[in-house]
Amino acid sequence: MTTISDPNISVKKGKLLDAALSLMLSKGYHGTTVDEICAEAGVTKGSFFYYFKSKEDAGKATLDHFERLQSHLLSGTGWERIADPWEKLNRYLDVFALMAKNPDAPNSCLTALITQEMAESNAEFCALCEEKLAGNAKPLKDILDEVIAQYPPQSPVDSQQLADYFLAVYQGSLILAKARRNRAVLGQNVEHFRMYVTALFHIVR
């Protein structure tokens, strides 16, 4: 899994964030120790606490780091520059379907994992995760709004709700894929969602 670091931070801090991300994606926040992160990053504990004031602080930075990785995986595939909204929507869904075959794609969503572990016991983490999940749904909502404007559906479509639905589909699929050690379900479920949207807009191909 390649990770993308903010170029304005030091090499070692980048290594710590990469290590924290990889370990937390695999074992969760509580399952990952500061010592393990340091060992994986090849950095001492003193440095860890130089860059992060606490493990919690590092956890939040790791969530931001994960968000950067997500953006990187999403961009560069060119879907943003497609003019026709229906075509754009389909290229956007393709990106997710292809994650099943992309070895660089993480096998979990850190935001979801930390939500599960922390939402009830830590209000700050909960708010941060909620915000990041909302950000995950945003691009699809915008595309759907464009589709609605250009190809008005017969019965009204709630773009926000539909984007949330896709987010749930994808998050749930990641869990199934992890349990099965097989990502095929990711691609399959994206196709089910695609067929649903197609039916909603009564678009026959």
Q: How far is the CB of 49 from DNA (least distance, A)?
A: 4
Q: Are 5 and 17 in contact (CB under 8 A)?
A: yes
Measure the CA–CA gap between 81 and 176, rounded to whole angstroms.
32
54 belongs to the binding site for DNA (CB under 7 A)? yes
Question: Residue 121, Cβ neighbours under 10 Å: how many?
Answer: 8
Q: Interaction with its own copies in 171-200: which residues (CB under 8 A)?
A: 171-173, 175-176, 178-181, 185, 188-189, 192, 195-196, 199
Q: Which residue has the tokens 């894929």?
A: 177
Q: Helix H segments across the chain? A: 11-27, 34-41, 45-51, 55-74, 85-99, 110-118, 123-150, 159-180, 184-200
Q: Interaction with DNA in 13-52: which residues (CB under 7 A)?
A: 13, 32-35, 43-47, 49-51
Residue span 54-93 as binding mask against its own copies, x where in contact by CB under 8 A, dash where not: ----------------------------------------
Q: How many residues does the chain have?
A: 205
Q: Are 63 and 128 in contact (CB under 8 A)?
A: yes
Of 47 and 160, the one with the shorter C-beta distance to DNA is: 47
Q: Which of 83, 121, 154, 156 binds its own copies (CB under 8 A)?
A: 121
Partner from DNA, its own copies, none contacting 167, C-beta within 5 to 8 A by type: its own copies
Q: Cα separations (Å) of 116 from 4, 38, 71, 140, 196?
A: 25, 25, 22, 24, 28
Q: Which of 5, 27, 40, 56 binds DNA (CB under 7 A)?
A: 56
Residues that bind its own copies (CB under 8 A): 26-31, 107-108, 112-113, 115-121, 126, 129-130, 133, 161-162, 164-165, 167-173, 175-176, 178-181, 185, 188-189, 192, 195-196, 199
Residues that bind DNA (CB under 7 A): 10-13, 32-35, 43-47, 49-51, 54-56
